[in-house]
Structure 1
């Protein structure tokens, strides 16, 4: 699959160059389970920004910082499990983040920092015969997003505080679901819930939103240091503290289990996680 590599003619982004130059180094690692054992190897360079992984059957979509004559920016990349190589999918003069499979066409949805500094949600088709397009004209600034069913989704909207907003592709106005939310949004199709974290009265909670009932449910308290998680299956989620990955189950939320100690591979902190099948990709924030 090759994502459209035509340059999007919406100008160069000058305002965030300094911030991008200061982005911390982060490295992608692949952990694979084989007959009860775990093999672990890096799949990106150790220097520079390699982050926001999304594991699929044949590889990993992620965000990588690149250098251009005008300065630093981020593009969307794809690491192929077969070739064991990564390639730039977008190669545009603007910055893209948060690659997510778009469920209603063949391509990715991503957050784009446009020329005027606004952050909006775009669709990037895999076919070079089609051009990228903005999905929402007036919803901004978008940080992250997660697709559900029936053309619905939730978005992290930056603000003071950051809010979780629920909307769809049918033209309905977005609805604020929760405030002071964390950076990880996901959809659990087996339970038909969107998952997120939010903080209230100084305590962070793992919570869910049901689009049919429009209700938010608190499931369990999380350490305030945890910003990222991933679903292992419909009942089990995982998050990292330092170099250790822990699991919790919705049906038994008070039981915390150590899944793996991966501190031997990551001298800094493990942050973002993405798992599919026997493969887990984790981000090591370099110390």
Structure 2
């Protein structure tokens, strides 16, 4: 099959993948308490509080800022930031493209993201962190679904379509290492390590949380995932994993032979679906995406 035809097929798949009706979701910000054998979230604040798709939260590593994407009335997403100290919201991009998965780059000068175009292409690009409108394109020859930075040179990316292959890209050497496939959307830097965690399907209803170390490159198992639809998760600074099974949150201590335990939730948000999760570097705030319906 010719390369051009392959690109067209991949582009159509990618366009359908993101353009199917996005669920109406809100982003709630919680106070987070992490102890040796207990995790609690409390004082929920709805920081988006509007009808529509607000999703993919990501904390700045140093500042009191949470980045996220918000969809407008015609289905275009842009990047916003919420300062949870000043309680102010600011729009960072206003483009004809669709931005997804805002992520602060290791040098803290840019926000990298997936840029989806009307022809179905999904590039990995980066915008200056002050929100200027012209991005630098990092990857344009693949259909990128998700990404995470291991360090200043290496990023893990999930490439579409199925079987959703995981690549490790070295931007200094331009080396593209295809690692494995059947990978879920939850890619995260492991705190204190030059490593990215991912969730991989081993067989029906069995998923393993694993990590890839960038240098020297190797893949290690961490623990069996909770049974859930999307296996959304986040790391705490002390290497606990918090994961959603859609109706509840659970945590596990990865530094020992732990087991999954339920997160205590103090706040009236029951009866709705929980999906994406983010935890700040201080370990005292948690952002949670919650369905509106």
In the superposition, the TM-score normalised over structure 2's length comes to 0.83
**Superposition pairs of residues 83-98 of structure 1, within 5 angstroms:** 83-98=86-101
Does residue 22 in structure 1 map to residue 11 in structure 2?
A: no
SS of 1:255's equivalent in the other structure is coil
- Cα deviation, 1:35-93, whole Å, max 9, x if unaligned, reads 988311211124200000012332210011012xxx32111111122332322210111
Does residue 261 in structure 1 map to residue 265 in structure 2?
A: yes
SS of 2:200's equivalent in the other structure is strand
CA shift for structure 1 position 119 = 0.3
Equivalent of 1:38 in 13, 37, 42:
42
Q: In 1, distance between residues paired with 2:236 and 2:17?
A: 37
Equivalent position of 1:212 in the other structure: 215
Change (3 A) 1:283 1:105: closer
In the superposition, the TM-score normalised over structure 1's length comes to 0.85
- Count matched residues: 269
**Superposition pairs of residues 50-129 of structure 1, within 5 angstroms:** 50-56=54-60, 57-67=63-73, 71-104=74-107, 106-127=109-130
Please list every run of 5 or more consecutive structure 2 residues that lacks an aligned counterpart in the other structure: 1-13, 35-39
CA shift for structure 1 position 105 = 5.6
CA shift for structure 1 position 150 = 4.3
Paired residues of 1:122 and 1:135 also in contact (CA < 8 A): yes
Q: In 2, distance between residues paired with 1:130 and 1:269?
A: 34
**Superposition pairs of residues 193-212 of structure 1, within 5 angstroms:** 193-202=195-204, 203-212=206-215
Q: In 1, distance between residues paired with 2:288 and 2:199?
A: 19
Identify the structure with the greater helix proportion.
2
CA shift for structure 1 position 219 = 2.0
Equivalent position of 2:165 in the other structure: 163
Change (3 A) 1:223 1:32: closer
CA shift for structure 1 position 187 = 1.2
Q: In 1, distance between residues paired with 2:18 and 2:193?
A: 39
Which stretch shifts more, 250-259 or 75-84?
250-259
Please list every run of 5 or more consecutive structure 1 residues that lacks an aligned counterpart in the other structure: 1-14
Which stretch shifts more, 56-65 or 166-175?
166-175
